Amino acid sequence: MSAEQPRARRERRETERTTAQGTHRPSFEEVAAAERRSRRIRGAVFGLIAAAVLGAGLYLAGGVFLGQRDKTTVANALPVRLSMAGFDPKVITARAGATVNLDFWNTDNAMHLDGGGVHTFIMDDQNIYVKIPAEARQAFSFIAPTAPGDYDFYCNTCCGGKASPTMHGILRVEA
């Protein structure tokens, strides 16, 4: 490698650059037109993004406003709302050995990146595993344990699963 080589290359590049500038010097009109064009494109892109964000917001809110989440579809069932915020209510009380009628209501939609909006109601010691799809309403009945006490239930399809305290609740069995 000689010291001449890099210098030669640099000189050649400089010559090329000068030539390129010489052959095309954009006129004021051309520059102005290009600026107008890019401004129009930027405006259109901004409009599209704004519309997309607004649409996504309306879609997400739709599950809450249009979903009639306070209406129970099952007689004598306790509506239990499931969302990324957890179970609502978090504590469900039941008589020992009695039938527990729940009306699950998943207010999250499938656009959630965390588990696709699916939530579950799991009680390991009772062999209960209920999967509630996004924006779905689903009734579920089971027999409460005969021994009074607090029994844990949780969701394992979002928020880090069982390890996360967000989606845990208590089935409080009273004598």
Residue 115 vs 151, nearer CB to Cu ion: 115
* Spatial contact of 102 and 137, defined as CB atoms under 8 Å apart: no
Residue 102 vs 167, nearer CB to Cu ion: 167
Q: How far is the CB of 106 from Cu ion (least distance, A)?
A: 9
Q: Kindly write out the interface string for residues 102-141 of this chain, putting x where it contacts Cu ion by CB under 5 A and - elsewhere.
A: -----------------x----------------------
Residue 112 vs 148, nearer CB to Cu ion: 112
* Spatial contact of 81 and 87, defined as CB atoms under 8 Å apart: yes
Task: Tell me the C-alpha to C-alpha distance, in Å, between residue 72 and each of 29, 80, 89, 135.
Answer: 67, 10, 14, 14
Which tokens in the block code for residue 50?
Answer: 């704004």
Strands 86-88 and 78-83: antiparallel
Among 167, 169, 171, 173, binds Cu ion (CB under 5 A): 167
Q: In degrees, to the nearest 5, what angle opens at C-alpha 103 toward C-alphas 97 and 108? A: 135
Among 158, 169, 171, 173, binds Cu ion (CB under 5 A): 158
For residue 62, which amino acid is it? Answer: G
For residue 143, which amino acid is it? Answer: I
* Spatial contact of 39 and 47, defined as CB atoms under 8 Å apart: no
Cis omega (within 30 of 0) for bond into 145: no
Q: How far is the CB of 119 from Cu ion (least distance, A)?
A: 4
Q: How far is the CB of 129 from Cu ion (least distance, A)?
A: 13
Stretch that binds Cu ion, among 14-22, 45-53, 68-76, 151-159 (CB under 5 A): 151-159
Q: How far is Cα 143 from Cα 154, in angstroms, rounded to an integer?
A: 17
Q: How far is the CB of 122 from Cu ion (least distance, A)?
A: 10
Residue 80 touching Cu ion (CB under 5 A): no
Nearest residue to Cu ion on Cβ basis: 155
Binding site for Cu ion (CB under 5 A): 119, 155, 158, 167
